[in-house]
Amino acid sequence: MIMMFNGKIALVSGGTRGIGFNVAKRLVEEGAYCYITGRDEEHGRNAQEALGKSSSYVAVDVMDEAGVAGLFATIEKQHGRLDLAVNNAGVTTSRALVRDLNLPEWRRVLDINLVGPLLLMSHEIKLMSRDVGASIVNVSSCGGVLGQPRQSAYSTSKAALNMLTQVAAVECANPASGHNVVRINAVCPGPTLGGMNTDERLRANPASTEEKIQSTAMKRFAKPEEISAAVIWLLSEQASYVTGTLLSVDGGFSAGKF
């Protein structure tokens, strides 16, 4: 059987659960060696055990510059290159109005959801641009495509991540620059089970849960594997002419009002 990513070296930040874990699982199943990161070491060890010997867990905070540099030094020392990366680490925020600004929380959300991917991408591109067929996917959100009340920090961070994705894609698209092309895209999921939407959270907030369901044309949450399928496609050679794209996988959330 021909595997899509046989021999490839991959990195999934926030890869210990939810969408990130599902992406890592698919990568390993398709022949890649996959590094996963996350701050919760128990989740990390459990995820690495589930993924098996073709994976490594590295406990790192995406805002820790020294820790991130150490992660990429480890990848380079062990494998000499990086082929695929998925920047999935992120946080949401309390549902506050703009007029009720909580500046420390705003900064925390932007740091993790925007500055974190920027730091990761800087290292990823340097390690990737020497090889052919490299690809990065940023996990954004439908909240970065359309404004949502009480989500100013989260939506702003994801909208900025979308623009960062496109700027980096343009910078890395031209082989005449002297480096190999790195394709860079983003997926923009709608409400998705797992991760930020655990069963416990959904049961504890039935009104919010119903609001999320009704926000989609398909009237349901996405399954993590439905989002990971889109990520895998963007990483693959099947999307070899796709870069700078923001792919909505949101059950019709961004299609209009209904």
Query: Which residues are catalytically annotated?
Result: 154
Please state, in angstroms and rounded to a whole number, the distance separating the CA atoms of residues 113 and 94. 15
Rounded to 10°, the helix 152-171/103-110 angle is 30
* The two three-digit tokens of residue 123, written as one number: 């290292």
- The set of residues, in sequence order, having a beta carbon less than 8 Å from that of 228 and lying 6+ positions away, is 19, 22, 23, 25, 26
Please name the residue that has the structure tokens 């991130």.
Answer: 68
Q: Which residues pair with 14 in a beta bridge?
A: none
CA dist list (Å): 210 to 93, 112, 174, 204: 18, 27, 45, 12
